[in-house]
Structure 1
């Protein structure tokens, strides 16, 4: 197995946190100064870490599980939900600390594990670089501060690469200065050159900054639902920085949230083609002569013409006739727009002008209060209900808790920007620092940690952007952004009438869900949903839904739990749904998820890339064509069939997922005989499944022991499988036996064919070289074998995809 995913997209993966020593992307690596601590872990210690070569003896909390062996200091949480911590007494203020980090095994459940390395560490506090490793090896890097046992994050970023068993990261943290402390983080793979490709920055100039000297520490916390796993630490060196410290920046830039995604219309890295909306203002739309014209500088009493536009969309809706058009001149419209049931209209821009519905507005009146800035008289109170039922508490059982305790403010829809950079909301005034804000409802105050002087401060003050309640209406070419939509409000853009078309529309940076429809025959064409707090888009009871060239990226920005809902797109209780030629990339949660009582899904020509959850989920549903899709480098499974029947999985390319294609069954059942929640009658043909990172290549498992593999998958043939060695993974197949007992395990394809009679034309490559190129297309050596491996594509598959009837080919189509 490769030490890390091959497609690094120009990024590296060692972790470096620097405080005040890197002057820019071209800054050279500093030579180490005098060494205050050094530990190569070249000893054996049964309990604890013993004595470092330089710096003294390691001490640990009473319950800590730690040892030294095989050249590494090992640390494990005492049990899930608990922390192990080791400390080194060497006391320094200005430090350059480096070490390596190794994990023999990855988390498979829960929220993962958190390794923190602290400098300026005392019993009461420390600056930390935190490395969170989640299911599938997804990594988050954070700049943090520990106060007692409480840890707060300054800034967090998700790495595009993933950790895999026995992979190694170099980790570096530098700290200098006392009047202000600047933090810089970056990452690269051990063995690669140090890179500035991925950088976090933060400056702590608060009154609670850690200005004095301290020791070093390592802490490991494992979430309550994750198995406690060992982490190895090695090659620790703590030295004085050998370069001059730049003058501290008196006012740091606000800490940005996760990158909400690329410019609309730009292809995502690794995607086969561009999808989504054009950037508002880049398409010249024809405007009917009798259109009602709206402009930010208009008057609502005006006629609504080009020469005398109205000012608000609400006024235009009063004037426009049924079947008419409203055209928006360029600018921002701070409105909640409701298209009423009695008027079928078209809402669009005026010619090539950029028109946005914007839920945020400028806010001033801040006064300095110590190290903070306060806006008094702030009486806005938003609904922070964490579930779809307004006022109800969050769920408590697995899969039904919306809010991750690591991100407790996720359901609070308040949003704030300073000079266009989004700030992070915190739960108390004491947590406010640069890049953060707090809504103090008891004092009617908005508390800001970034100096607003001379800057544009904007706050979301509207809850919903657009509600389409008129059958046959069309919305095209506009943008909708920055609304404080709560979870139970369902979506910033709502489609609540049949036969509505939303085309070339961008919905981004809203507090929870970007777009939601519960109407029949909705068409979403060339729509972008980017950087929304919970979910890009969703649908329920949306029979006949058609999603074409959707671009969904950077959603679940607030880091809600993966389940019950998060990520790119979630659809349930809908029939005859088509999702085609779309891109779902870099979402912090699931890729597209068809969950519960969907019947008749066509999912073709799509790319699902680097989502932290599963790439594609078809769950508790029936009948789907899943063809000509690229599903790669997702955090958990690639194509995941769960308690769902009749899935036809043809000509997909699945690469670098934990389990590239998995068909599973559990104990859940439905009384609906049409959709019985049984994973039966699946077909798997002509797929390319390469570089798996889980425990099996062919994964067909029934935990309820009701179905056999032959019942779950009725046909499997013509597939090209790959693993890097005989033991990566060790099992070629896991195959359900139903009531006969636990699933069987097969080491080789030959053994599987002999026992089941399946996969007779399929081929398993066992080689370090992947059968796919960097863009996931087949290498020529693999492509030359297509005719001898693949089986003809059936007409019923070709009729709903870009594949041709009778075509004999492997994997997804590439340009």
Structure 2
């Protein structure tokens, strides 16, 4: 709060910061130069005292660290005066009843500029001190992190700045403040009062030190405290009474080093990073051994990086002893360059350095053959020659793995891709401030989907302005309505549009039961296709007729209420459902299905409580729909396969979903008719069940072409409700599950972290499936092609799945050029399902597994078995691995745990574990061009540790693949007959 902004220096201007930094340096200099070294200082080897490592500094408006400091902002937010700014007031007010008897809330914003603390500092503790004008009683007031930038002279109860509103009044929304309290203010008397921050508060200040742009300060408030609290603000006349933040931090000091970062590579020129570690010194004589079990004894290279701190202001000579090549840089200057094959030899170079100053240092080394020696020493006029000790070396940060993926898409589902679609003439406009009495022009928009769809002509466009629409297309009597004319729904350029299935239930709508719960009467007959109250959600008919769930799909021990579409969100966070009122505690909710009453165990006062109220957003029939740039979230969809199993149900042909986000549904999020359906550049994240479902025509009386296209989609962390844990026949949990599809393509997409199922799964008589250039990671199975016919699975990167990489029981299928790494059980599993065409139900089972061609794949890692080929269990009437393959060759295998593991598990009339390709070749004649590597480090990739799975030029897999057959080449967009490296040619983010 500042009375006259024009008479005071800028809070964040360069002059103010220089003044503050100077004050801090002066304080440090005083500590170090008062005759004896201060506690926390380090005595340098040549007698000069280094800077103290521990610093305590206070920030108080125009007081500390100096009178030039003007980095405090504070203001009160008054519900009773929602448009009033109090930024110039000398008092900060907090109250849950202000003015008295109104029940209105007053709370406070407070921010300190701490940017003068060095960005490499480590915050140890923090303390807030206030001058209390009016003490309080009760539970006190809590200190939360503010999450939204605000302006002291503009913030009000409704607004953070003159142009930005709070998501909920008084900065109380989930996007306005954090949920964790850093401290509790409970002064019982007036005068000076201080409180220490907890670990979360210290961590928040640490984040501000490292990134000043994240510092939005604090919100001081309490959910139920009724006794007011008043404090002096930064505008108080008595400067010493203004709010004060005291921070104690440490800075890494010269002499406290730990060594250099050592990065160890396969190859003479840093081709494949195998290991990163901190080496205390560079003083190695490996002789003829390897530096690490994962490295070869010859043909490796090492790069050491970090900083070196000299003890004297002198010219230093750096010495290397090496066998073979060596290069050294200090402070960007190359001092040594002997990059050649040679026996052990010493090289040296000199540079002038200043004591106690950190200088960048990089040492590169390679060993070609024979003995391996690497040593780094120094000397100066005052420094006898010695190996540089760890205390004077500081490691560079380790390189962190960079997960490949789709750029510009947020896998959390919180961000909708920015769009700029052209607006056609005659478009109908929707807006949150519109009215259904309007004509739907841009100047006079409508408010609801019902009205917009009624007004838009066939083939027309509905343009949706930014905001949140708690809406659905419905018949006005509590059920969905089917739209039947072709329509395009699109976001207004560069605006964020959310369709939300919840309603906000204010505190006034809840009733306390006196036993720690609050309830509302809550009836939802529209759920589960209008049959929600026909059968209780955990007692669905064993005839498997729904309406909420298949009888064998719910009931996971960790989530027994999964079958219920009810959902609750408190301050934006999902609240878990329990099955009894006795289990309802903060963070849970209970729905009394019999009495139609919903209970929460968090006092709704001071919180935003949202309850799922709609089963779907849109049901579309006919043909020719497009959804572009829209977000859909929190609809009460169900697992059972009916019309309300997804927030958007497209039963229309030739439809497009593009640049959309689907998140936090109770079950599914999108169902789309396959014929001409396209889903592109969209995110499906954190939905309760399988995110995308589509059913094709191969089981129809007249089989037509489907042609479903999924491209550049990001499918992350779905099946959060853990459906299918104990399923017997209805199993359908996956990121994407499609079936009966006659022609489909899935390409350039990412399937990750989907719970208990495959990332992508096509099941039951799929035909002509093309799955190329995808990433599948951290699912149960990466890609699954089941009881189907004719498919191409090529150039996919599949790693770290909990069970299988590629799982296929389909005939006439080519599996080419995939990279499979560390899929826990099996990298590729080819098998025949117990079902066959003779017992198929209708026409939904493909032929027995045959004519499978597996080539050019890299299968790497610590699997139970690398490749498995097996019959169906206890069924010898179908095909087995002796007749599965038309080709099994040109694949490269690496077992990181050594050669004792099963390389290929072959189960025909009996089971055999082949522990080498030679044994497989002898038994069946396959893999005459295969690679079998069972020792040393990774032989294939540029940088497996950092998830760069490109094949390096020195790998045996490089440019050694089988020429691509025409259909595979066409699917990959290359010329037929092309010879490639083995493994994936490309993937999202490569």
- How far residue 356 of structure 1 moved from its aligned partner, in angstroms, is 1.3
Structure 1 window deviating more from structure 2 (632-641 vs 272-281): it is 272-281
Q: 1:676 to 1:596 in 2, by over 3 A?
A: closer
Does residue 680 of structure 1 match 2:843? no
The equivalent residue for 2:577 is: 425
TM-superposition CA deviations, 1:63-87 (whole Å, max 9, x none): xxxxxxxxxxxxxxxxxxxxxxxxx
**Distance (whole Å) between structure 1 residues aligned to residue 723 and residue 402 of structure 2:** 25
- How far residue 565 of structure 1 moved from its aligned partner, in angstroms, is 1.3
Q: 1:786 to 1:438 in 2, by over 3 A?
A: same
**Distance (whole Å) between structure 2 residues aligned to residue 731 and residue 349 of structure 1:** 54
1:70-469 correspondence runs (5 A)? 270-274=403-407, 279-280=415-416, 282-337=418-473, 342-364=484-506, 365-380=509-524, 382=527, 383=532, 384=537, 389-391=545-547, 394-395=550-551, 401-469=553-621
The equivalent residue for 1:243 is: none
The equivalent residue for 2:205 is: none
Equivalent residue for 1:668, pick from 806, 811, 835: 835
Which SS does the other structure have where 1:800 is aligned?
A: helix
The equivalent residue for 2:786 is: 619
Does residue 534 of structure 1 match 2:686? no
Equivalent residue for 2:860, pick from 680, 685, 690: 690
The equivalent residue for 1:794 is: 965
The equivalent residue for 2:107 is: none
Contact 1:302 1:309 in 2 (8 A): yes
TM-score under structure 1 normalisation?
0.63
Contact 2:881 2:906 in 1 (8 A): yes
Q: 1:360 to 1:788 in 2, by over 3 A?
A: closer
The equivalent residue for 2:667 is: 512
**Distance (whole Å) between structure 1 residues aligned to residue 935 and residue 605 of structure 2:** 60
Q: 1:473 to 1:494 in 2, by over 3 A?
A: same
Which SS does the other structure have where 1:496 is aligned?
A: strand
Which SS does the other structure have where 2:837 is aligned?
A: coil
The equivalent residue for 1:718 is: 890
Equivalent residue for 1:570, pick from 737, 740, 747: 737
1:544-563 correspondence runs (5 A)? 544-561=707-724
**Distance (whole Å) between structure 1 residues aligned to residue 914 and residue 830 of structure 2:** 16
**Distance (whole Å) between structure 2 residues aligned to residue 494 and residue 626 of structure 1:** 28
Gaps of 5+ in 2: 1-198, 201-400, 475-480, 698-705
Which SS does the other structure have where 1:812 is aligned?
A: coil
Which SS does the other structure have where 2:804 is aligned?
A: coil
TM-superposition CA deviations, 1:152-202 (whole Å, max 9, x none): xxxxxxxxxxxxxxxxxxxxxxxxxxxxxxxx99xxxxxxxxxxxxxxxxx
Which SS does the other structure have where 2:790 is aligned?
A: strand
Contact 1:575 1:599 in 2 (8 A): yes
Q: 1:272 to 1:798 in 2, by over 3 A?
A: farther
**Distance (whole Å) between structure 2 residues aligned to residue 744 and residue 441 of structure 1:** 54
| Residue-pair matches, total | 541
**Distance (whole Å) between structure 2 residues aligned to residue 608 and residue 600 of structure 1:** 20
**Distance (whole Å) between structure 1 residues aligned to residue 624 and residue 815 of structure 2:** 34
The equivalent residue for 2:341 is: none
Contact 2:691 2:718 in 1 (8 A): yes
Which SS does the other structure have where 1:513 is aligned?
A: coil
Equivalent residue for 1:747, pick from 911, 915, 921: 915
Q: 1:352 to 1:726 in 2, by over 3 A?
A: closer
**Distance (whole Å) between structure 2 residues aligned to residue 287 and residue 340 of structure 1:** 25
Gaps of 5+ in 1: 1-183, 186-267
Q: 1:507 to 1:778 in 2, by over 3 A?
A: closer
**Distance (whole Å) between structure 1 residues aligned to residue 724 and residue 709 of structure 2:** 27
Contact 1:629 1:812 in 2 (8 A): yes
Contact 1:296 1:333 in 2 (8 A): yes
**Distance (whole Å) between structure 1 residues aligned to residue 936 and residue 503 of structure 2:** 55
The equivalent residue for 1:164 is: none
- How far residue 495 of structure 1 moved from its aligned partner, in angstroms, is 1.1
Contact 2:468 2:500 in 1 (8 A): yes
- How far residue 803 of structure 1 moved from its aligned partner, in angstroms, is 4.6
Which SS does the other structure have where 2:457 is aligned?
A: coil
Contact 2:766 2:846 in 1 (8 A): no
Q: 1:308 to 1:786 in 2, by over 3 A?
A: same
- How far residue 540 of structure 1 moved from its aligned partner, in angstroms, is 0.8
Q: 1:724 to 1:649 in 2, by over 3 A?
A: same
**Distance (whole Å) between structure 2 residues aligned to residue 420 and residue 412 of structure 1:** 20
Which SS does the other structure have where 2:498 is aligned?
A: strand
Contact 1:402 1:565 in 2 (8 A): no
Equivalent residue for 1:500, pick from 655, 663, 668: 655
Does residue 784 of structure 1 match 2:952? no
Which SS does the other structure have where 2:607 is aligned?
A: coil
Equivalent residue for 1:735, pick from 906, 913, 932: 906
Contact 1:347 1:476 in 2 (8 A): yes
**Distance (whole Å) between structure 2 residues aligned to residue 275 and residue 694 of structure 1:** 36
The equivalent residue for 1:645 is: 811
The equivalent residue for 1:27 is: none
Does residue 592 of structure 1 match 2:760? yes
Does residue 774 of structure 1 match 2:942? no
The equivalent residue for 2:625 is: 473
**Distance (whole Å) between structure 2 residues aligned to residue 775 and residue 697 of structure 1:** 25
- How far residue 307 of structure 1 moved from its aligned partner, in angstroms, is 1.1
Structure 1 window deviating more from structure 2 (336-345 vs 519-528): it is 336-345
Structure 1 window deviating more from structure 2 (463-472 vs 528-537): it is 463-472
- How far residue 510 of structure 1 moved from its aligned partner, in angstroms, is 0.5
TM-superposition CA deviations, 1:759-789 (whole Å, max 9, x none): 1111011125233313544476675323574
- How far residue 478 of structure 1 moved from its aligned partner, in angstroms, is 0.4
**Distance (whole Å) between structure 1 residues aligned to residue 437 and residue 548 of structure 2:** 43
- How far residue 727 of structure 1 moved from its aligned partner, in angstroms, is 4.9
**Distance (whole Å) between structure 1 residues aligned to residue 510 and residue 580 of structure 2:** 18
- How far residue 370 of structure 1 moved from its aligned partner, in angstroms, is 3.7
The equivalent residue for 1:763 is: 931
Contact 1:554 1:587 in 2 (8 A): yes
- How far residue 579 of structure 1 moved from its aligned partner, in angstroms, is 0.6
TM-score under structure 2 normalisation?
0.52
TM-superposition CA deviations, 1:99-147 (whole Å, max 9, x none): xxxxxxxxxxxxxxxxxxxxxxxxxxxxxxxxxxxxxxxxxxxxxxxxx
Contact 1:275 1:550 in 2 (8 A): no
Higher RCO (CA 8 Å, separation ≥ 6 residues)? 1
Contact 1:661 1:697 in 2 (8 A): yes
Which one has the largest radius of gyration?
Answer: 2
Does residue 485 of structure 1 match 2:656? no
**Distance (whole Å) between structure 2 residues aligned to residue 608 and residue 517 of structure 1:** 22
- How far residue 709 of structure 1 moved from its aligned partner, in angstroms, is 2.2
